[in-house]
Amino acid sequence: MNAPLTKKCAANNGGFTVLELLIVVSVISVVCGFALMQITRARQVMVRENATRQLGSYLEKARVDSLRRHPAASAQMAQVTLINATFYSVAIDADGNGTLDAPKVFSLPADSNLQFNTPFPRTIYFNWRGRTVDAAGNVASPPFVTISDSYGTSRIDLTTAGQPTLQGPPASSAVTNSTAPPPSFRSNTQIP
């Protein structure tokens, strides 16, 4: 006699439970969220560094322009002005006719929340030697400019020669003057 059909239950189903799927989905979403935050941060840092390089490039162009033209008065010196927290202007002789052109105004990227450090307005003049000076033409201590956002700060320092550096303040080492040691002669040297 044949046994009635019975449903056999396998002891090992080989599928996933809803709880296991929820755990996997939540772990994947946390990892993806963390990766997205890191990508956003890296993008903001790249935007800030690019804006810093662009400003550093204009500072160097202004310095070289003043070296080339040898201006005597501050009105003819190449200059970079920080107008407010997000705008700056650059006045150089771009067309090469020997006089300053009308200043060109530039903006930090609008969607990046980048800002300059205060005070405003602040003008950086370069004299005929390429050094930073004030409006009266007196040599000024090298200024620095910072560009900040919520992820950090980038700094442009100007050396005493007026050159912009993006790596931070230039390393300085103490210079020591010493007297040269007296000459030493071999004992078998005969000097008459």
Q: Measuring CA to CA, which residue among 145, 131, 150 is closest to residue 40?
A: 150
Topology of domain 20-165 in CATH is minor pseudopilin epsh fold (3.55.40)
**Residue located via tokens 């755990």:** 23
Record the tokens describing residue 3, joined without a space.
Answer: 């046994």
Identify any residues that bridge with 181 across adjacent strands, giving them in sequence order: none
Give every CB contact of residue 94 below 8 A, 6+ residues apart in sequence.
101
* Domain layout of the chain by residue ranges: 20-165
Q: What is the pLDDT of residues 42-62, one digit of tens each?
A: 999 999 999 999 999 999 999
Q: What is the pLDDT of residues 79-131, one digit of tens each?
A: 999 999 999 999 999 998 989 999 999 999 988 899 999 888 999 999 999 99
